[in-house]
Amino acid sequence: FIYTTAKKDYAKKLLEVLDPKKKLIRHCLSQSDCVCSQGCYWKDLTRLGRDLAKTVALDHTMQGFPAQVGGIWEPQSLGTPWVCGIQPSPCAPQAANWISVPPWSGDPEDEELLRLIPALRQL
């Protein structure tokens, strides 16, 4: 599935490019599925209702993933004062689920996801 902090219209356009035949991506979560605090949107993996030990997030930035304290999302755990743009702590539970990938620029020759297949198969 796709989980983006972008608005639903943008997410739909993204799906048209990534999966034009609608065979690969079954779910798309967008900004309305994110946690919003002080104008910032966060992809909270706990909202998926899945075992985080079996969940991986591929993203070009960890900034969209919240820190959590005791299993509860808390913007205050990002530091005081909390403002948009502060990255969650690398030791935040959801950081363990994050694999860094370069931003996709639309290059049809981009094979980054193919490069990750062997590592993902080992999970």
Q: What mean pLDDT do residues 60-70 have?
A: 63
For 15-44, what is each residue's pLDDT tens digit?
Answer: 888 888 998 888 899 999 988 877 888 888
pTM score, whole prediction: 0.63
Taking the C-alpha atoms of 28, 35, 52 and 75 in order, what is their torsion angle to the nearest 10 degrees? Answer: 150
Looking at per-residue confidence, does 97 or 5 come out higher? 5
The answer to whether the CB of 15 falls within 8 A of the CB of 28 is yes
Indicate the pLDDT class of residue 70, thresholds 50, 70 and 90.
very low
Listed in order, strand segments (DSSP E) in the chain are: 2-3, 28-29, 35-37, 40-42, 57-59, 68-69, 72-73, 98-100
Taking the C-alpha atoms of residue 113 and residue 14, their distance in angstroms, rounded to an integer, is 16
Distance of alpha carbon 1 from alpha carbon 25, whole angstroms: 5
Region of residue 22 (left: phi > 0; alpha: psi -120 to 50; beta: else) = left
Confidence label for 46 from pLDDT (cuts 50, 70 and 90): confident
CA dihedral 108, 10, 90, 50 (to 10 degrees): -100
Q: What SS3 class is residue 59? A: strand
